[in-house]
Amino acid sequence: MKKVAVVFKSKYGSTEKYAKWIAEDTCAEIFKVSEIKADKLEEFDTIVYCGGLYAGGILGFSFIKNNYYKFCDKKLIVVAVGATLKKDEELDDDTKGMIATYGQVADFTNKNAITPIINAINN
């Protein structure tokens, strides 16, 4: 059985929620990026990194970038968590509702969104 690690950095909690769902569905060990040493990841076959997507990039991704040489022989899956509209996309009712909550606390997470990630881990 493959040994899987899920590493994450979350600012508001959505990324942590996705990381926990992925870990639960794959029986993976889960770590906050601030609480794991890169050397520890060498014992895993698959590493899943989850970070929030912001204008500057994926939150905490520098951990992967700076330590890539330690686990470049592993299966690495990067998950960026964020909300965006496609260019020239028509606004549907869900999108309008999302925009209406701007500046308020809202939870748009969807466990079904991890299905392709789970498939990638298991294949």
Predicted pLDDT at 29: 97
Predicted pLDDT at 61: 93
DSSP secondary structure letter of residue 85: P
Convert the pLDDT of each residue in 39-73 to its tens digit: 999 999 999 999 999 888 899 999 999 999 998 99
Convert the pLDDT of each residue in 68-109 to its tens digit: 999 899 999 999 998 665 555 677 777 777 677 777 776 778
Convert the pLDDT of each residue in 9-26 to its tens digit: 998 899 999 999 999 999
Predicted pLDDT at 79: 95
2 vs 104: CA distance, rounded Å: 40
37 vs 40: CA distance, rounded Å: 6
Amino acid at 84: T
pTM score of the predicted model: 0.80
Q: Which CATH number fits domain 4-82+114-122: 3.40.50.360, 3.55.40.10, 3.30.1330.10, 3.40.30.10?
A: 3.40.50.360
Q: Quick one: tokens of 20?
A: 């926990």
Predicted pLDDT at 62: 94
24-29 LR contacts (CB < 8 Å, sep 24+):
25/114, 25/118, 26/118, 26/121, 26/122, 28/4, 28/121, 29/3, 29/4, 29/5
Average pLDDT over residues 112-117: 90
